[in-house]
Amino acid sequence: MNQIDLKGRTAVVTGGAKGIGYATAERLLASGAAVSLWDLDGARLVEAQAALAGKGEVEAEILDVTDPAALARATQATLARFGAIDVLVANAGVVGVMKTTWEHTLEDWERILRLDLTGVFLTCRAVIPQMLEQGYGRIVTVSSIAGLEGNANNSAYSAAKAGIIALTKSLGKELAKRGVIVNCVTPSGIETEMLAGITQEYFDAMMAKMPIGRLGTPEEAAALIAWLASEDCSFSTGAVFDLTGGRAVY
């Protein structure tokens, strides 16, 4: 494992109790950062914090990223504990529903956009003022190849992930001269629990589009995220980084 220097930095990872979020927290700890895990699943969060405790300084905040008041409390609690938030990895989200667009209910549509897009906006809004105050920050948003290509039978998720890409580009421009770098990663098939709910047909179609011929691992995603969270990432902002095994064509 290549060493990335995050010594003295504090990172927040939303959706940090499992999958890409957990692997990212583990990699950031290995790089010397203190980490605050923010997740809605209290039981998994306790397990994750316990498992990571021996790897570095880690705390946990149970919260819903769609709740502005909860985000404000978690931000203040993390600042009280660590004194700063230098890195935000906005990873929390859900996979959505497997339906054609016209079969989506309004409830389906609004729930997925709120969890997968509005939650990222609210989390960034909660944390950015403190980054501006200190004149330094790194934000990594987790989108999806679906945000670039659009997945059939998964339009709400695709629309939300496309929104994350646009939000990242807007933030990157707004913050470019203020010491805060904002970038996005777009995973395709990563071997996490999120794949458990998809059909075999959907899985086969996904794999057929990946030239590398295999799923990615959460650790591979975490390696890219950790570099984007570091001082070494200093000239790329508002950018979209591929995590698709060669699937992405732009």
The amino acid occupying position 129 is P
Query: Can you give the pLDDT at residue 64?
Result: 97
Measured in degrees and rounded to the nearest 5, phi and psi for residue 175 equal -105, 0
* Interior/surface letters 36-65, b for 16+ CB within 10 angstroms, e for the rest: bbbbbeeebbeebbeebeeebebbbbbbbb
DSSP 64-76: -TT-HHHHHHHHH
Taking the chain (250 residues) in runs of 10, the rounded mean pLDDT of each run is 92 97 98 98 96 97 98 98 98 90 96 98 98 98 94 93 98 98 92 71 77 88 97 97 85
* Residues 6 or more apart whose Cβ sits within 8 Å of residue 33: 6, 7, 9, 10, 11, 56, 86, 87, 229
Distance CA 67, CA 61 (A): 13
Told to judge if 157 belongs to the known catalytic residues of this protein, a careful annotator would answer: yes
Query: Can you give the pLDDT at residue 1?
Result: 74
Distance CA 190, CA 214 (A): 9
Measured in degrees and rounded to the nearest 5, phi and psi for residue 184 equal -130, 145
Q: What domains are there in the chain, each with its CATH number?
A: 10-242 (3.40.50.720)
Give the Cα-Cα-Cα angle 238, 241, 245 (nearest 5 degrees): 165
Do 145 and 188 meet the contact criterion of CB atoms below 8 Å apart?
yes
Distance CA 18, CA 178 (A): 32
Give the Cα-Cα-Cα angle 14, 16, 19 (nearest 5 degrees): 120
pLDDT digits (tens, 9 = 90+) for 154-185: 999 999 999 999 999 999 999 999 999 999 99
Whole-structure pTM value: 0.94
pLDDT digits (tens, 9 = 90+) for 50-64: 999 999 999 999 999
Choosing from 22, 157, 202, 250, which is the catalytic residue? Answer: 157
Please give the distance of CA 106 from its chain centroid, rounded to a whole number. Answer: 25
Do 154 and 103 meet the contact criterion of CB atoms below 8 Å apart?
no
